[in-house]
Amino acid sequence: YLNYQGEQIEEWAEGMYAVCIQHEMDHLQGTLFIDHLSRLKRSYAINKVKKAKKRDAA
């Protein structure tokens, strides 16, 4: 990443810190959490959201 002075910074991350950094990088690249899921899991998640919306609208 670049710091406030525009200098490139490289660091090593592990565990939850690495997950957080990847999450923020995904935001910058326009990647959603659901984009990381397999086709089957993505379909399952989308269907759950649709069912919840129907339930809440009723």
Name the pLDDT band for 58 (thresholds 50, 70, 90).
confident
Q: Give the closest residue to 36 by CA, choosing from 47, 26, 46.
A: 26
**Residue of 7, 10, 11, 24 marked catalytic:** 24
**pTM, full prediction:** 0.56
* Count of beta carbons in the 10 Å neighbourhood of residue 26: 14
43 in Cβ contact with 51 (< 8 Å): no
- Is 24 designated active site? yes
Q: What angle do CA 37, 2, 4 make, to 5 degrees?
A: 130
pLDDT tens by residue, 14-44: 999 999 999 999 999 999 988 999 999 999 9
Q: Give the closest residue to 28 by CA, choosing from 6, 1, 47, 56.
A: 1
Residue identified by tokens 């935001």 is 27
| pLDDT on residue 46 | 93
* Domain ranges (residues) in the chain: 15-57
